[in-house]
Amino acid sequence: MKRFDFKEILEITCRLYVFFFLTVYGIGKVIGGQFYTAARIPDEIAQMPIGLVPDFELAWVFMGRSYGYILFIALAEIIGAFLLLFNKTKLVGTLILIPIMVNVIVFDIFFLDEYGALAGATLYLLMLLIIVVINKEKMSDILIELVSTEVQLKTSSKEKTLKYSIVLVIIVLIFIGDQLIVNFLGYGKG
């Protein structure tokens, strides 16, 4: 009989819990259960001068203004949560969901006046971090691979100067092209 593995039980619990709730939140966004879309702004908010709209309602209207944005966040939550279900993709799902949860937490801190949603988002983030800690060896290997550099032959200062001069010219050309595009398309109202 296999020995009881507390870490495995804890990880699976965290993965399934976060999967369930972030899938529900993601689907809620897709079907219109979160944020005030143009058709769902409460009358008292819609008729209020913008400077008097409470932070939460203003944020909820802003977030609901673009269905494309809502769909992007919803799909990221759903895909990230779905990836938690499988051992081979659990860390990818975790790495997708951590920045989303950090953003939700920051949003909740600055815009919400009730903190139940903040507590829930914090719990989900803590569970994702538990998954990372339980898989610290794999995460460490990934980070080492990402930042490792192969030993290169020594290059002369002349070669380095030439290489970085070319890089500088390319950066200037990209900047000029970028500014031409921005000026052609316009800056917007901001």
Tell me the pLDDT tens digit for each residue of 19-59. 999 999 999 888 877 888 778 888 888 888 888 888 888 88
In a domain? residue 146: no
Q: Based on the domain organization, do 25 and 118 belong to the same domain?
A: yes
In a domain? residue 150: no
**1 pLDDT exceeds 60?**
no
Q: Based on the domain organization, do 50 and 125 belong to the same domain?
A: yes
Q: Based on the domain organization, do 72 and 13 belong to the same domain?
A: yes
Q: How many angstroms separate the CA atoms of 134 and 15, rounded?
A: 12
Domain count of the fold of the chain: 2
Torsion of CA 171, 172, 175, 180, to 10 degrees: -140
Average pLDDT over residues 1-29: 90
Q: Based on the domain organization, do 115 and 165 belong to the same domain?
A: no
Q: Based on the domain organization, do 167 and 83 belong to the same domain?
A: no
Q: Based on the domain organization, do 97 and 185 belong to the same domain?
A: no
Q: Based on the domain organization, do 99 and 34 belong to the same domain?
A: yes
Q: Based on the domain organization, do 100 and 69 belong to the same domain?
A: yes
**Domain region containing 183:** 155-190
Q: Based on the domain organization, do 91 and 41 belong to the same domain?
A: yes
Torsion of CA 91, 97, 103, 104, to 10 degrees: -140
Q: Based on the domain organization, do 159 and 190 belong to the same domain?
A: yes
On whether the CB atoms of residues 111 and 56 are closer than 8 A, the answer is: yes
Note the pLDDT of residue 99.
96
The residues, ordered by sequence, that sit 6+ positions from 16 with a Cβ below 8 Å of its Cβ are 84, 85
Q: How many angstroms separate the CA atoms of 112 and 107, rounded?
A: 8
Q: Based on the domain organization, do 40 and 134 belong to the same domain?
A: yes
Q: Based on the domain organization, do 121 and 160 belong to the same domain?
A: no
In a domain? residue 92: yes
pLDDT tens, residue by residue, 56-91: 888 888 888 888 888 999 999 999 999 999 999 999
> What global pTM score does this model have?
0.76
